[in-house]
Copies of this chain bind each other. A is one copy, B any other.
Amino acid sequence: MNEIKIGLIGLGTVGSSVLKMIIENSDKVQTITGRRLSVKTIVVRNVAKHRRQVPKDVTLTTDLNAIINDPEIKIAVEVMGGIHPAKEFVTALLNAKKHVVTANKDLIASAGEELAATAKQNHCDLMYEASVAGGIPILRTIVNSFAADYITEVKGIVNGTCNFILTQMQQQHWSYDQALMKAQELGFAESDPTNDVEGIDSAYKMVILSQFSYGAHIKLSNMSVEGISTIQQDDIQRAAEFGYTIKLLGISRRIDNGVFAEVGPVLVPQDHPLATIHNENNAVMVTGEAVGETLFYGPGAGGLPTANSVLSDIVSVTKNIVLGTTGHFFNNYQSSPSEIGNIDPKDVKYAYYLSLKMLDAPGQMLKFTQIVTQSGASFSQIVQTKTDHQTARVTVITHKISKSQLSDIKRALRKVNTIALLAAYKVLQQ
């Protein structure tokens, strides 16, 4: 058996690219694994629509059983997306002893543990490199190259839509709405962009990255998640004057024995590597106790980049089949859930960018300074400008303060009707 036959579920952008790569690069894969890969069967919703896309010897069908009941097919590739019926499909495939490769982050973030257990029961591989940061081979790198290190932080730009919008706001001086429209025109944002722009997609990815980094599962409900839809052009410009670029970052840190994870806009110093990640690209920064800071950058989405990650999974599964070593977890690192405790907001510290509008009258700045001082915080940079006859704009960057100090400041400001806090974003320091 020198050929490994593959079943594909889904034939959209990623699926078509997977098919293309398997056909075009099978020589190289054969050199490496000694096996020839070929796609035998593809399950789609509409057979007629896809017939001309597909070589004649490939079976196109609407019926998953064509893969499930075919003993020749060893590996199933799920690139249909969505949680249902993808979850039921993957479960059925694993129970039919098919190894499964998926690019489906929603599925893995919400049902990954359960599916991994099903895979293990069936002595099958379940791999999902493409589920995080498209073309960046970050999961396998964490598994293989940080195996002996103690990861203390993983953070990054993991949503291409948001990064495209923020890059356009910065480079073209567009408003959020203009940039979103452009992203939709170019196919970088969906017509309902909520999942992307509100940070939910990033949060899913941070759940998976945290599992690989710390061996334990964070719940989405334990994360603070903020998106980019309220960012003003004015904030982009003021951040630039301070020497920063605003990026949507997912951050997951070990604090004592727990893990703290969140998603939100962050001011990144302009000469920090994360500040140079433009448009739809993604980047993940992994900090290990031994290795220090490392960064992995690449295309976050797109057919071929994502297909490359799918192919690297297929090659791994193929090697395992050849070596007789299938049925192990993609990530063998499991630490006890008790390690993932609730983190005291007092222990989570950042510098913050605060943007405020206040009545242009004597005593307002004093009032604000008193509130900040009472919380034990202090300023590192302040800029005050007039906006019209009645109001002044004040932007400050604080020294490091805790989440609870920030809450104190917010609470106190809400009681002052002459001062409005427009934005409070974390500041990354180098």
Contact call B323/A32, Cβ cutoff below 8 A: no
Question: Complex: how many Å from CA A210 to CA B272?
Answer: 28
Question: Complex: how many Å from CA A298 to CA B144?
Answer: 16
Given contacts A215-B31, A293-B299, A298-B295, contact A148 B276 (CB under 8 A): no
Q: How far is the CB of A170 from chain B (nearest CB, A)?
A: 11
Binding site for B on A (CB under 8 A): 17, 21-22, 25, 28-29, 31-33, 129, 135-137, 140-141, 144-150, 215, 271-273, 275-278, 288-299, 302, 304-305, 307-309, 311-312, 314-316, 323, 325, 332-335
Q: Which of B28, B32, B292, B315 contacts A298 (CB 8 A)?
A: B292
Contact call A145/B290, Cβ cutoff below 8 A: no
Q: Which residues of B contact A304 (CB under 8 A)?
A: 289-292
Q: How far is the CB of A101 from chain B (nearest CB, A)?
A: 12
Q: Which residue of B lies closest to A287 (CB)?
A: B298
Q: How far is the CB of A243 from chain B (nearest CB, A)?
A: 13
Question: Which applies to chain A's interface (DSSP): helix, strand, loop or mixed?
Answer: mixed
Q: Which residue of B lies closest to A334 (CB)?
A: B31
Q: Which residue of B lies closest to A32 (CB)?
A: B332
Q: Which residue of B lies closest to A137 (CB)?
A: B145
Q: Which 3 A-B pairs have the closest CB atoms?
A: A137-B145, A148-B311, A294-B298
Q: Which of B148, B295, B312 contacts A297 (CB 8 A)?
A: B295
Given contacts A31-B334, A325-B323, contact A21 B290 (CB under 8 A): yes
Q: How far is the CB of A329 from chain B (nearest CB, A)?
A: 10
Max chain B CB contacts within 10 Å: which of A22, A137, A272, A325?
A137
Q: How far is the CB of A266 from chain B (nearest CB, A)?
A: 16
Q: Which residue of B lies closest to A29 (CB)?
A: B148
Q: How far is the CB of A368 from chain B (nearest CB, A)?
A: 35
Q: Which of B25, B146, B148, B296 contacts A148 (CB 8 A)?
A: B25
Q: Which of B32, B302, B333 contacts A147 (CB 8 A)?
A: B32
Question: Complex: how many Å from CA A291 to CA B138?
Answer: 13
